[in-house]
Structure 1
Amino acid sequence: MAILITFLLGVGNFALHHAVMASGHPMLGRVPWLTHSLGGRVTLVVEFLLLFAALMFASEGNAGGPIAYVIYSVLNSFSAWLILTDRV
């Protein structure tokens, strides 16, 4: 169950990531080294590595990884909401 929840949160995080990157928010222009490195793929690689690590922890029966990923997902969702609704 932890693997499924972590995976679904990962899908949501990737969707939010894509929406923020496609939003053209001015804040993205302030960090061109992050958003334009390797064609903008660096942030996707980091997102994938976080998901992969959480899934590995879940597969080993350790609840720490998935719990940390849930916390990360909540914070990521909140920051994406702030960016996408132009509150920042």
Structure 2
Amino acid sequence: MALILLFAMGIVNFAIHRAVSDSGHPLLAQMPWASSRMGFGFGLITEYLMLLACMLMTDRGSGGWVWGYGLYTAANGVAIWLILSRRI
């Protein structure tokens, strides 16, 4: 069950990453390495590796990784809300 929850949170994080990159936010213009296609790919690889690591550690019996990835997903949710609502 924990792996399914992690996978669902991973899908949310990938969607958040895509929404930020497609938002056209002025902050992205200040970070050209992050807004380029190369930066976008690097970010997705990082998201994937984080999800994979959490899933592997959870599969080995370490349940704290689910909570950590949940906090990471919640922080991403707050960040995307701030970015898309133009509060930052």
Distance 2:26 2:42 in 1: 19
Structure 2 residue ranges without an equivalent (≥5): none
Distance 1:30 1:71 in 2: 27
Q: What is the letter of the counterpart of residue 47 of structure 1?
A: E
Listed one character per residue, the Cα deviations across residues 12-52 of structure 1 (whole Å, up to 9, x for unaligned) are 11011101100010001111123326262011111111111
Listed one character per residue, the Cα deviations across residues 38-73 of structure 1 (whole Å, up to 9, x for unaligned) are 262011111111111111111111112111100100
Distance 1:36 1:14 in 2: 17
* 1:3 to 2:3 alignment: yes
TM-score by length of 1: 0.92
Residue 16 of structure 2 contacts residue 80 of structure 2 at CA under 8 Å; is this kept in 1? yes
Distance 1:77 1:47 in 2: 14
Residue 14 of structure 2 contacts residue 47 of structure 2 at CA under 8 Å; is this kept in 1? yes
Report SS of the residue matched to 1:73. Answer: helix
Q: Which runs of 4+ in 1 moved over 6 A?
A: none
Q: RMSD across aligned C-alpha pairs, in angstroms?
A: 1.3
Distance 1:14 1:33 in 2: 19
- Percent identity reads 38
What does residue 16 of structure 1 align with?
Answer: 16
TM-score by length of 2: 0.92
- The number of residue pairs the alignment matches comes to 88
